[in-house]
Structure 1
Amino acid sequence: MRRVVVYALMSLDGVAEEPGDWVFEVDERVFRNLAEVVGRQDLVLLGRATYASWVDYWPTSDVQPFADFVNGTPKHVVTSSPLDGAWPGAVAVGAPLVEHVRALRAGDGGDVGVHGSLTVARTLLAAGLVDELQLVVAPTVAGRGRRLFEGQDLQRLQLTRAEPTPSGCVLLTYRPSSSA
């Protein structure tokens, strides 16, 4: 059975939208953590908006370790319309997201990663289909922007790792609590 892992960069006030606007410094430990997380993933789920904003950037990017990973990994894009642009490995998934992810989880393979797609992440959290949250909390207050946990019902999580980094970020790993 596969696991679904949500990876998100967040500000101290919970904003996860456009981290380039409020992440000012990262260090080697943050990049090593990202490499560890994506090293276990062999499929990425993206929402339509994330795909649209990434399709012109990542195929020509050399920002590692994410560029090689996202360009070489199959990308399932949740959308009801054809994809604009060409990105090798990207396929449109018109099936309902929850059903599609249940089928993916039942299969064999590595982790299924959710990166940068807040609506997809929220939907999967609400459906109880997220097995792990990998959060990088930056030492900034963004003040405004979309938050990962906006509109979510009460859910208990179990902290399995908390690690500060030299740049002041905190690497957090949570799993859904069995008593939730």
Structure 2
Amino acid sequence: MRKVIVCTFLTLDGVMQAPGGPDEDAESGFRHGGWQKPVDDDEVGTAIAGWYEDSDAMLLGRKTYEIFAAYWPTADPGNPFTDRMNGMDKYVASRTLTSVDWQNSTLLEGDVAEAVRRLKATDGGNINVVGSGDLAQTLMRHDLVDEYRLTIHPVIIGTGKRLFADGAVPTALEPVSVSTTKGGTVVGVYRPSGEPSYDSY
């Protein structure tokens, strides 16, 4: 059984919107695009590269797919990540796209939760969900996320899309590994472990 792994960059207050650049995603008037690079460091890059070592596919929502498909096919070939991103299988969940042209891309058909269940039952490595906040929340609601790999950066934005938005399913998490980089970013790997427990002091 393949694992579905949500890989996300977050601000300290949980915002995941437009980490990569000012024009990445301005939906709902978001004015803080590009917040990640000023608080990034080499250790974060090393950790992110490690997220892909046991994965051979990505699962993407439409918006993230379109951002990636506009960038990676013509990205710097000297970047070691370029070949990996272009070479991986890409599975795209969209209600509006009718075709996907980036190499090794497949448009999922029908109900996305059922399509992902079938995908998890195929042979292969782990499947990384990158960005794609709406898709990640759908997968969470259907108990299809096996692991979270998160970088939590030392910056507060105050507004924007959040991975764990209102209505997120209450879930206990088992920490697999947690570390802090020299720049203050928390790199955490967590696995869902059922419902939270409640107690009092």
3-state DSSP of counterpart to 1:52: helix
Deviation per CA, 1:97-122, whole angstroms, max 9, x where unpaired?
11111111112210011001111111
SS of 2:52's partner is helix
Given the two structures, how large is their TM-score scaled by the length of structure 2? 0.83
Please give the secondary structure, in 2, of the residue aligned with 1:91. Answer: strand
**Is 1:30–2:32 an aligned residue pair?**
no
**Equivalent in the alignment of 1:12:** 12
- Equivalent residues in 2 for 1:42-57, closer than 5 Å: 42-57=56-71
Please show how residues 69-108 of structure 1 align to structure 2 within 5 Å. Answer: 69-80=84-95, 81-83=97-99, 86-108=101-123
Secondary structure at 1:55's aligned position in 2? Answer: helix
Q: TM-score, normalised by structure 1?
A: 0.92
1:76: how far off?
Answer: 0.8
Gaps of 5+ in 1: none
Deviation at 1:167, TM superposition (A): 1.6
Paired AA for residue 29 in structure 1: E
> Which structure 2 segments of 5+ residues have no match?
21-33, 197-201
Whole-Å separation in 1 of the counterparts to 2:163 and 2:49:
22
Task: Give the structure 2 partner of residue 157 of structure 1.
Answer: 173
In structure 2, how many angstroms separate the alpha carbons of the residues matched to 1:139 and 1:83? Answer: 38
2:183 to 145, 160, 167: 167
- Equivalent residue letter for 1:19: P
CA distance in 2, matches of 1:18, 1:26: 14
Greater displacement, 17-26 / 166-175: 17-26
User: 2:39, 2:154 within 8 Å by CA — same for their partners in 1?
Assistant: no
What is the alpha-carbon distance in structure 2 between the residues aligned to residue 164 and residue 66 of structure 1? 23
Per the alignment, residue 67 of structure 1 pairs with: 82
1:72-117 Cα offsets, whole Å, 9 max, x none, are 1011111243236x31111211221111111111122100110011
How many residue pairs match? The answer is 179
Q: CA deviation at 1:64?
A: 4.3
Sequence identity percentage: 38
SS at 1:57 equivalent:
helix
Whole-Å separation in 1 of the counterparts to 2:67 and 2:102: 12
Runs of 4+ in 1 over 4 A off after TM superposition: none
- Is contact 2:140-2:169 (8 Å) kept? no
Is contact 1:121-1:148 (8 Å) kept? yes
Task: Output the CA distance in 1 between the equivalents of 2:80 and 2:184.
Answer: 20
Distance in 2, matches of 1:174 and 1:47, equals 22
Choose 1 or 2 for highest CA Rg: 2
Matched with 2:162 is 147
Contact 1:31 1:65 in 2 (8 A): no
Tell me what 1:133 maps to: 148
Match of 1:3 in 2: 3
Contact 1:15 1:146 in 2 (8 A): yes
Asked if the contact 2:141/2:168 (under 8 Å) is kept, the reply is: yes
